[in-house]
Amino acid sequence: MKIAVLPGDGIGTEIMAEAVKVLNVLDLKFETETALVGGAAYEAHGHPLPEATLKLAKDADAVLFGAVGDWKYDKLDRPLRPEQAILGLRKNLGLFANFRPAICYEQLVGASSLKPELISGLDILIIRELTGDIYFGAPRGRRTATDGHFPGAEEAFDTMRYSRPEIERIAHVAFQAARKRSKRVTSVDKANVLETFQLWKDVVTEVGAQYPDVELDHMYVDNAAMQLVKAPKKFDVVVTGNMFGDILSDEAAMLTGSIGMLPSASLNGSTQGLYEPSHGSAPDIAGKGIANPLATILSAAMMLRFSLNQPQTADRIESAVKDVLASGLRTADIYSDGTRKVGTREMGDAVVAAITKKTTKG
């Protein structure tokens, strides 16, 4: 088994070091190979996703990804910006199904900006389509307008589009995921305004008929954004397009008060996948040794479960993380009175210690 390790920019290198440390105490047989990606790759090779990095990712069983981006690259031409690395990996590896769980850890209830009773026990799964929609739709660009409100003016345009098979396959992923949970799917669209999302709604409804045991409802995206802060526990599996999923998954993650805790998986229908924390590269705290490595460590657990067929080892990591939280250790982002503030490395060491302690006991 081969894991491509792509730490990226900002806090990426620090959090990845801890995840790799955890993987290395699990006595599994795998090989890792590290490569540059994002701004770091641009600095070294003039491109955020160099050929060699893409080849490594394609040939690997799984990709463990840190984070990319820094404001200092905002002025670069779009194809050279760090974000293009993650978009390029998604596209080239065909990673169309993005799993973004939003789980509220009981010990962190106080870290949410919502009232504890609204989020205590929260466990929702956002399934975001990841290779279509306005993110990748052609044509796009800049031109001189020939019609509209200001003919002759400079304008920019993107294309929102989805084909029936693209919607079908992500709908199947959502219904199958729901079968392993509480058998409820909410499909989020904007069918009241957009043709693209009328097709989305129609196709999800059709696919849903093949899963009579799963309850399906539909919600407009603006209402979904509202319901997420009003009564988030009403959701279980949420399935939506690339753009709406980008926005709603950040909202859902922040509800839990612990975006630094949340992993994600991007899958392509085979067992190959890319695993990354739900948070970004946080350049403001990079290099300070204070970032929370738990989302990356938990992403490694998801990788073991989905791509490397090691569900029990994944459980071991997840239960070690819970033990560490129960022991009161917190990085700055989840710190509250009465807990003990630790840095990135100390948090990684604590997870390693919790894993080895259980191994010696068992």
Site string for Mg ion, 50-69 (x = CB under 5 A): --------------------
Shortest Cβ distance from residue 83 to ligand IPM (Å)?
A: 4
DSSP-H helix ranges across 12-66:
12-24, 39-45, 51-59
Shortest Cβ distance from residue 323 to ligand IPM (Å)?
A: 29
With CB under 6 A as the contact rule, which of the stretches 25-33, 82-90, 113-121, 310-318 interacts with ligand IPM?
82-90
221-249 as b/e, with b when 16 or more CB fall inside 10 Å? beebbeebeeebeebbbbbbbbbbbbebb
Told to judge if 190 belongs to the known catalytic residues of this protein, a careful annotator would answer yes
Q: Does residue 246 interact with Mg ion by CB under 5 A?
A: yes
The DSSP secondary structure of 174-222, one letter per residue, reads HHHHHHTTTSEEEEEE-TTT-HHHHHHHHHHHHHHTT-TTSEEEEEEHH
Q: Does residue 83 interact with ligand IPM by CB under 6 A?
A: yes
List 190, 211, 236, 275, catalytic entry: 190
Told to judge if 349 belongs to the known catalytic residues of this protein, a careful annotator would answer no
Shortest Cβ distance from residue 52 to ligand IPM (Å)?
A: 21
List 59, 217, 222, 315, catalytic entry: 222
The DSSP secondary structure of 67-100, one letter per residue, reads E---GGGTTS-GGGSTHHHHHHHHHHTT--EEEE
Host H or E run for residue 32: strand 31-34
Shortest Cβ distance from residue 29 to Mg ion (Å)?
A: 34
Q: Which is nearer to Mg ion, 61 or 133 (CB)?
A: 133
Told to judge if 222 belongs to the known catalytic residues of this protein, a careful annotator would answer yes
Kindly determine how many residues on this chain lie close enough to bind Mg ion according to the rule CB under 5 A: 1
Residue 86 touches which of Mg ion, ligand IPM, none (CB < 5 to 8 A by kind)?
A: ligand IPM
CA distances from 147 to 33, 144, 151 (A): 52, 9, 5
Q: Tell me the C-alpha distance between 133 and 233, whole Å.
A: 27
Answer whether 333's CB lies under 8 Å from 292's CB.
yes
With CB under 6 A as the contact rule, which of the stretches 79-87, 229-237, 317-325, 326-334 interacts with ligand IPM?
79-87
Preceding amide of 139 cis, omega within 30? yes
Cα dihedral value 87, 311, 269, 58, nearest 10: 50
List 73, 105, 135, 162, catalytic entry: 135
Residue 225 touches which of Mg ion, ligand IPM, none (CB < 5 to 8 A by kind)?
A: none
Site string for ligand IPM, 235-254 (x = CB under 6 A): -----------x--------
Cα dihedral value 67, 71, 76, 80, nearest 10: 0
**Considering only residues 15, 41, 86, 342, which one is a binding residue for ligand IPM as defined by CB under 6 A?**
86
CA distances from 16 to 29, 217, 291, 292 (A): 19, 38, 11, 11
Q: Which is nearer to ligand IPM, 246 or 346 (CB)?
A: 246
List 246, 322, 323, 349, catalytic entry: 246
Q: Which is nearer to Mg ion, 257 or 280 (CB)?
A: 280
List 123, 202, 250, 323, catalytic entry: 250
Answer whether 101's CB lies under 8 Å from 265's CB.
no
Told to judge if 246 belongs to the known catalytic residues of this protein, a careful annotator would answer yes
With CB under 5 A as the contact rule, which of the stretches 96-104, 155-163, 245-253, 256-264 interacts with Mg ion?
245-253
| Catalytically active residues, by annotation | 135, 190, 222, 246, 250
Residues forming contacts to Mg ion in the complex (CB under 5 A) are 246
Residues that bind ligand IPM (CB under 6 A): 83, 86-87, 246
